[in-house]
Amino acid sequence: AQSVTQLGSHVSVSEGALVLLRCNYSSSVPPYLFWYVQYPNQGLQLLLKYTSAATLVKGINGFEAEFKKSETSFHLTKPSAHMSDAAEYFCAVSGKGGKLIFGQGTELSVKP
């Protein structure tokens, strides 16, 4: 069975600091991995996805993630946090029938 674990339910950074949100996956087949962002009272928006084309994936809003098979990880990073990055972030793996299996989510707070 496939699963995703996000380490840290809450991460707080200062504006301008590095953002690192951790995601580890478990999958018996080569995984397709996604990062979504959810702003308050809104739906989920795709940040980026890994589909085996390249291990370093660039997404929207300056985010990127690196797929590391040896570590079964797909951590999300951004070099410099903005106040507008404050949101809930979800890592997900694609399962049967196209369904997404989500991690528990990480709330990112950005301090001025």
Partner 1 sequence: DTAVSQTPKYLVTQMGNDKSIKCEQNLGHDTMYWYKQDSKKFLKIMFSYNNKELIINETVPNRFSPKSPDKAHLNLHINSLELGDSAVYFCASSQIRADTEAFFGQGTRLTVV
CB 80 → partner 1: shortest distance, Å? 25
Buried b (16+ CB within 10 A) or exposed e, 79-101: eebeeebbbbbbbbbbbeeeeeb
If the CB atoms of residues 97 and 112 are measured against partner 1, the closer one turns out to be 97
Enumerate binding residues for partner 1 (CB under 8 A): 32, 34, 36, 38, 41-46, 49, 51-52, 88, 90, 94-102, 104-105, 107
For residue 71, what is the DSSP state? Answer: G
CB 91 → partner 1: shortest distance, Å? 11
CB 19 → partner 1: shortest distance, Å? 19
Residue 22, CA distances (Å) to 12, 81, 97, 112 in order: 13, 16, 26, 23
